Amino acid sequence: MLNLVLFGPPGAGKGTQSQKLIDQYQLIHLSTGDLLRSEIAQGTSLGMEAKKLMDQGVLVPDDVVIGMISNKLDANKDAKGFIFDGFPRTVAQAEALDQLLASKNSAIAGMLALEVNDDELERRLLLRGKDSGRPDDANPEVIRKRIVEYNTKTAPVANFYKAQQKFYSIDGIGAIDEIFASLCLVINQL
Ligand code: B4P
């Protein structure tokens, strides 16, 4: 199984590159952001709770996202592998993911981290906010809050994978196809 974690701050291009990686490697895409937005669209109680937090730019509780991922792993038992996009976002989520995969005799092959500076992130998200309809993209204060959440709670997850020699840094600024080629170069050596 080829299991990849696509990592980076909000707006780094995780969703964008995931779409291309799925086509190239026939992996199942698991985006916790997409799963949460789908719960919101369906008006579930989980979605309504998550919406309050997402609209403020803060993370949803670990047990909620871990439960969603666990369900998706169970529902895709024959997958060739998974792209985890926007997950894990805390060290507790990373530990839970290792345990979930180990229980299926599998593991993460590598974490690919897209590096993008804060000014470019804010520019991209405000641009996307013009037509995404996402409340968390529309307000510069919420965008900055998301970046602070990333720096305090999510950035330490990189150390978790560095300790396992599974961390790969990729320049996330430039043409989408160039960044995709850099990702493939790393993946093909895993
Ligand atoms: P997510 O849905 O994961 O979204 P994201 O981090 O905002 O975006 P991404 O990095 O995927 O950016 P994209 O490719 O779209 O999270 C939203 C919220 O959900 C979080 O704030 C949190 O509240 C909650 N949540 C999700 N997962 C969670 C978890 N595990 N635990 C707790 N809470 C969780 O790119 C952004 C824009 O840049 C696009 O418009 C794109 O076109 C553009 N772009 C991409 N690549 C580019 C390039 N090379 N050059 C120029 N523009 C580019």
- Cβ(15) – ligand 1 distance below 6 Å: yes
In a domain, 143, yes or no: no
Describe the strand order of the beta sheet including 81-85 as a list of residue ranges: 28-31, 81-85, 2-7, 110-115, 167-171
Please report whether residue 89 resides in a domain. Answer: yes
Measure the CA angle with vertex 65, ends 59 and 71; round to 5°: 170
Instruction: Say what the pLDDT of residue 36 is.
Output: 97
User: Is residue 93 in a domain?
Assistant: yes
Q: Which of 20, 72, 123, 134 is catalytic?
A: 134
Atom of ligand 1 nearest to the CA of 57: 21
What's the structural domain count of the chain? 1
State which residues form the domain around 85: 2-27+79-116+160-187
Residue 21 counted as domain residue: yes
Q: What would the two tokens of residue 152 be? A: 């305090």
Residue 87: pLDDT band (50, 70, 90) is very high
Q: Is the CB of 129 under 6 A from ligand 1?
A: no
Compute the distance between CA of residue 184 and CA of residue 60 in angstroms, rounded to an integer.
31
* Residue 12 included in any domain: yes
What pLDDT is stored for residue 5 in this prediction? 98
> Can 128 be counted among the known catalytic residues?
yes
For the stretch 157-180, pLDDT in tens is 999 999 999 999 999 999 999 999
117 alpha carbon, distance to own chain's centre: 17
